[in-house]
Amino acid sequence: MTHDKIAVVDFGGQYAHLIATKVRRLHVLAEIRQPDDPIEAFAGYKGIILSGSPSLSSFGEDSGYTKAIYDLDLPILGFCFGHQEIAKHYGGQVAHGGREWGYADLHLTREHPLFAGLSMIEPVWMSHYDSVTAVGPDFEELGYSTLGGRTEVQHRYAAIGSDALRRYGFQFHPEVDDTLHGAEMIGNFVLGICGCRPSWTIEQFLAEEMDKVRAQVGDQSVFLLASGGVDSTVAAVLLGQALGPERLRLLHIDNGMMRKDESRAVIALLQSVGLGERLEFVDASQDFLDALAGLTEPEAKRRAIGDTFVAVFEREARRLGISQDLLAQGTIYPDTIETGGTRRSDTIKTHHNRVPVIEAMIAAGRVVEPLAELYKVEVRELGERLGLPHAAVWRHPFPGPGLGVRLLCWAGEADRSGFDAIEPALADLAAAEGLELLALPIRSVGVKSDLRAYEHPVMISGQAGWDDLLRVAGTVYKSVPGINRCIWNLAPDAPGTARPVTAHMTRERLDLLREADAQVMAGLTRHGIDGEIWQCPTVLVPLELDGRGRELIILRPINSARGMTATPYRLPDALLDELRSSLLALPGVSGLALDLTTKPPGTIEWE
């Protein structure tokens, strides 16, 4: 069957494939195109969407692309960077500055087909530095933005359009779930303005993906590293059905960074879905601890974990006599885009399945990744279509490196870079809000305007309601340079000092984190909210607070659908009281906090 198609031009932003996914959920086929693809590559599409870009400026290198697309008689809609490019191309102006991250209100200037069925004020999600300050003669302002709940204009030209040219732009990101009716906006463009027929389905994707797997694998066999998580389990079942179980071998590696009793649960799960006979198990925890010994820098840790996975895989493959088999992975799209998986994307963090050794194997055609274009929600839908148990499909995501990216390490002195500017700004905000704000002399990974931001967290202490805490956190990381996270102090007293201590990846620290994580997960189940939360990492940070203990425990409960954006989840007060009592009593613990940070500017994991 021939499907109507939309081209999504990927300028390297985090959200290009998320745009494609949102289009596909309308049952319209979306395909990713590169900015410098020849104009002939755009033949056969019904419309074009331009994604965001990691470029800090719309006047940078990303401004060089196939601009002949503007000569095509097709509707074009741009998001963020794409919005700015459309404005510039047709005589508008773009200025560097006016950054926005997070929620804003879009105020429509009039009714328009792009916003059919929506209110005149819509909550939207911003993540940008540059701003459109004027539009060309054929364009009009369709909407401006204000900060949530305020009336003063934050940005003009948050939405622009020319019905005569069929060119439109949104400064915000309608593709993320945080833009409440973004899917309707995309649908109004794809189904309405472009006139696409909704004929593409996930069932057809599954059939096509199985054909791709068979074509790639040929008469070879496949060896899958099965973590037991949603992605690897769905990948295993898909491969087994596509190739036949006799051509699939599974290896579960205990890397020493699993959750409490996790390996036992993984083996039981794989046995329950009929893959137990193809499963091998190896305890390689010492291999990973040896590889991580003395490492503190997050990227170095991720590379060491990834390289060790491959080393263990190759060793076990030789032992099992399957060295020539292809390596299969349950890689999903966020794993690749956050590693800089497209030509123009910025490396937010390197995933263990995108280290150089794996990349070399991919280039050699030795890696099979049937889920690499999907997001978690699509993987889960696929898993249900493949017949997996509901509990296996909807369990919380768990990173491939496991607790290795939740156990922060440190060596050397406190990192107070930028504090000369940060501390006075925080003091002013603290006085205005009646709270205590303490910048922490460590750094964590974040993402701002599609760029990696390796910056300081801030601890908020004091009495405030949940909504006020979120508002203050948003004000801090939006207005104070060098900050990408805010955490809420759950301990009884506000700390006056924070000092990082030397700490490495050890079995003892991992056991402490395992116990803390087990208590948190049991608490979520006990209160019946584990199914409401997308993910709840427990993080251990080597911080001594007011001379007490050596480890700060941080809870990271979040709402999300695809992992590309996230908002903090409010845990019940009763559960917080229980966790204060049990976690603060663990040996060596200096404090307890809850991460209030949205994504962006903070990634879900701390490393």
In tens, the pLDDT along 66-107 reads 999 999 999 999 999 999 999 999 999 998 766 676 789 999
Outline where 76-160 has alpha helix (H): 81-89
d(CA 6, CA 33): 10
- The question of whether 80 is a catalytic residue gets the answer yes
Strands 451-461 and 5-9: unpaired
What residues have CB less than 8 Å from 273, skipping those under 6 apart? 233, 236, 237, 388, 389, 392
User: How far is CA 323 from its chain centroid?
Assistant: 33
Percentage of the chain exceeding pLDDT 70: 91
- 319 phi and psi angles, rounded to 5 deg: -65, -40
pLDDT per residue over 553-581, tens digit each? 999 999 986 676 789 999 999 999 999 99
Q: Is 232 left (phi over 0), alpha (psi -120 to 50) or beta?
A: alpha
Instruction: Let me know if 141 is a catalytic residue.
Output: no
3-state secondary structure of 269: helix
pLDDT at residue 347 greater than cutoff 60: no
| pLDDT 10s digits, 106-120 | 999 999 999 999 999
Task: Give dist(CA 367, CA 162) in Å, integer.
Answer: 45
pLDDT number for residue 338: 53
CATH 3.30.300.10 matches 419-595: yes
From the candidates 17, 27, 80, 433, give the one annotated as an active-site residue.
Answer: 80
More confident residue, 95 or 255: 255
Distance (Å, whole) CA 265 – CA 388: 16
**Active-site hit among 173, 252, 352, 456:** 173
153-156 LR contacts (CB < 8 Å, sep 24+): 154/98, 154/100, 154/104, 155/98, 155/100, 155/104, 155/131, 156/132
Report pLDDT for 371: 92
pLDDT exceeds cutoff 50 at 259: yes
Which pLDDT tens digit goes with each residue over 184-236?
999 999 999 999 999 988 788 899 899 999 999 999 999 898 888 889 999 99
Residue-wise pLDDT tens digits, 297-346: 988 998 999 899 889 988 988 888 877 789 899 888 666 655 544 455 45
* C-alpha span between 13 and 540 (Å, rounded): 30
Give every CB contact of residue 465 below 8 A, 6+ residues apart in sequence.
none
pLDDT over threshold 60, residue 467? yes
Query: Residues 249-272: what's their mean pLDDT?
Result: 91
Q: Is 605 in the active site?
A: no
User: Are 5-193 and 202-401 in the same CATH fold?
Assistant: yes
In terms of Cα–Cα distance, which of 53, 38, 47, 25 is closest to 450?
Answer: 53
CB 71: neighbour CB atoms within 10 A?
Answer: 8
pLDDT one-digit tens code per residue, 135-154: 999 999 999 998 866 677 77
d(CA 305, CA 575): 34
Of 85, 100, 122, 175, which is the active-site residue? 175
Query: What is the model's pLDDT at position 60?
Result: 53
Reply yes or no on whether the pLDDT at 414 is more than 60: yes
Residue 511 vs residue 389, higher pLDDT:
511
DSSP H or E stretch at residue 274: none
More confident residue, 37 or 1: 37
Strand-pairing partners, residue 254, are 283
Tokens (6 digits) for 534: 């997308």
What single string gives the DSSP state of each residue in 206-237?
HHHHHHHHHHHHTT--EEEE--SSHHHHHHHH
φ, ψ for residue 591, nearest 5 deg: -175, 175
Residues in CB range of 468: below 8 A, 6 or more apart:
433
Q: What pLDDT score does 56 carry?
A: 46
CATH 3.40.50.880 fits 5-193, yes or no: yes
Helix or strand holding residue 334 (H, E): helix 333-337
Predicted confidence at residue 62, as pLDDT, reads 47
Q: Alpha-carbon distance 28 to 465, whole Å?
A: 43
Q: Average the pLDDT over each of 7-16, 422-431, 481-490 and give the range with the smallest value.
A: 7-16
Q: What is the pLDDT of residue 296?
A: 94
Structure-derived torsion over alpha carbons of residues 126, 131, 134, 138, reported in degrees to the nearest 10: -60
pLDDT at 149: 67
What is the per-residue pLDDT for 516? 98
CB under 8 Å to 201, separation ≥6 — which residues? 27
Q: Kindly state the tokens that stand for 194.
A: 């472009």
Residue 62, both tokens: 């990303």
In 194-344, at which residue ranges do the beta strands (DSSP E only) sit? Answer: 222-225, 248-254, 279-283, 326-328
When pLDDT is averaged across residues 360-388 and rounded to a whole number, the result is: 86
Closest by CA to 312, choosing from 260, 320, 229, is 320
> Rounded to 10 degrees, what is the CA torsion of 97, 460, 152, 81?
30
User: Where are the domains positioned within the chain?
Assistant: 5-193, 202-401, 419-595
Asked if residue 433 has pLDDT above 80, the reply is: yes
**CATH 3.40.50.620 is the classification of domain 202-401:** yes
Q: What is the CA radius of gyration of the chain?
A: 24
Beta bridge partner(s), residue 182: none
What would the two tokens of residue 201 be?
């389905």
Q: What is the pLDDT of residue 55?
A: 59
Average pLDDT over residues 40-54: 92
Claim: this prediction has a pTM higher than 0.85: no
When the pLDDT of each residue in the chain is averaged and rounded to a whole number, the result is: 89
